[in-house]
Amino acid sequence: MTVDARPSVWSRLLRRLWWETRAAHVVWQRELLHYARNPARLIMTLAQPVVYLLVLGTGLGAMLPGGGGYPTYLFPGVLLMTVQAPAIAIGASVAVDREAGFLREMLVAPVHRVSLLAGRCAGAATVATCQGVLVLGLAGLAHIPYAPELMLALIAEMALIAFAMTAFVALLAVVISPTPTFHAALGCVLTPLVFLSGALFPIAGLPVWLTALMVANPLTYVIDLLRRTIAPYLARPEPAAVHSPVLMELAVTAGVGLLSVLLAARRLSRPR
């Protein structure tokens, strides 16, 4: 009996897996279609990091003693902001979809919630990476060489960061309700995190409590990861703010993403 049952269990499992993969794939596709159909949204989310690079990079750089290196310093932060915008928009759309009903239509389908969330985060990662590639085109303005290995490494890292951020924002969207409270919470958490990540200025000589916040801030490691990927290609590398192994930083980012997907899925599948 058990011998007979085995192949059927396996084939059932494979079919199930194929079904879930296709479900995640259409959710991914839907996110891309949304972006493709709203070019205005694309341009607006792209405008912010470019403005930061051009205005803050050159303007603030001119004020600093020896500020010629400031655009270079700012570049990882600009990349972070580039992927952050679509990650937040798509992660937060879980909250909008939940109230408008499209999420309910997905939830009533016989598909695992992990597939739905993973598809959405993958969609955000794809959109964010595409925008990131465009911003990478401006690397020359920040005196960063267009080395192919560097560009590929940065693209891969941006995809990972976008996935993790979308998952994290989606988790917040699922846990914090109603929607206005969620949006308020998002604004009140994210801005300080960006300031405390070392994206805009080196964080040194801060009071102890702010240093503690900086060390606990996941964005600190994301920025450090990008900065250290770029450093070997620079003529005059910046001293890094934190020194944690790059592999650990990658693992933490991926871990935060996966954990967020699982927790959000768990929360969604629990009927009220």
Partner 1 sequence: MRPGAIHTHSLRKSYQGMRAVCGISLNVEAGEMFGFLGPNGAGKSTMISMLSTLLRPSGGRALVAGIDVRDDPKEVRRRIGLVFQEPTVDTDLTVRENLAFHATLYGLGKHDARRRVAEAADLVGLTGRGDTLVRTLSDSMRRLLEIARGLLHEPGVLFLDEPTVGLDPQARAEIWEHLRELRHRRAITVFLTTHHLEEAEYCDHIAMVDRGRVVADDSPAALKRLIGTDRIHLRTGDDQAAAATLSDYLGLASAWGPDGLYVQVTDAATAIPWVCTVLRVPVHSIEVRRPSLDEVFLRYTGRTLDGASRPEVSL
With CB under 8 A as the contact rule, which of the stretches 106-114, 133-141, 169-177, 258-266 interacts with partner 1?
106-114
- Output the smallest distance, CB 101 to partner 1, in A: 4
44 part of the interface to partner 1, by CB under 8 A: no
Nearest residue (CB) to partner 1, 35 versus 221: 35
What count of other Cβ atoms lies within 10 Å of the Cβ of residue 193? Answer: 18
Task: Provide, rounded to whole angstroms, the least separation between the CB of residue 135 and partner 1.
Answer: 25
Is the CB of 201 or the CB of 266 nearer to partner 1? Answer: 266
Report if residue 236 touches partner 1, rule: CB under 8 A: no
Q: Which two tokens stand for residue 194?
A: 């960006």
Q: Tell the smallest beta-carbon distance from residue 172 to partner 1 (Å).
A: 22
CA–CA gap between residue 10 and residue 44 (Å, rounded): 47
Nearer to partner 1, 10 or 102 (CB): 102
Burial class (CB in 10 A: 0-12, 13-18, 19+), 196: buried
Residues ≥6 apart with Cβ < 8 Å to 41: 35, 89
* Residue-level length of the chain: 272
Estimate to the nearest angstrom the gap between the alpha carbon of 5 and the chain centroid. Answer: 43
Residue 106 binding partner 1, by CB under 8 A: yes
Q: Which stretch binds partner 1 (CB under 8 A): 81-89, 108-116, 156-164, 238-246?
A: 108-116
The CB-of-249 to partner 1 minimum distance in angstroms stands at 36
- Closest distance to partner 1 from the beta carbon of 108 (Å): 5
Contact range with partner 1 by CB under 8 A, out of 26-34, 62-70, 142-150, 257-265: 26-34
User: Which residue in the set 12, 22, 266, 267 belongs to the binding site for partner 1 (CB under 8 A)?
Assistant: 22
- 8 A C-beta contact, residue 233 and residue 78: no
Residue 98 and residue 151 in contact, taking contact as beta carbons nearer than 8 Å: no
Bond prior to 178 in cis (omega within 30° of 0): yes
Question: How far is residue 63 from each of residues 50, 56, 57, 141, 253, measured CA to CA in Å?
Answer: 19, 10, 10, 18, 34
Q: Where are the beta strands (DSSP E) in 23-168?
A: none
Applying CB under 8 A, does 111 fall inside the site for partner 1? Answer: yes
Give least dist CB 117 to partner 1, A. Answer: 14
DSSP state of 239: P
Question: By CB under 8 A, is residue 51 in contact with partner 1?
Answer: no
Could you tell me the two tokens for 52?
């930061």
- Considering the complex, state which of residue 9 and residue 33 has its C-beta at the smaller distance from partner 1: 33
Which positions touch partner 1 (CB under 8 A)? 19, 22-23, 25-26, 30, 33-34, 37-38, 100-102, 104-111, 271-272
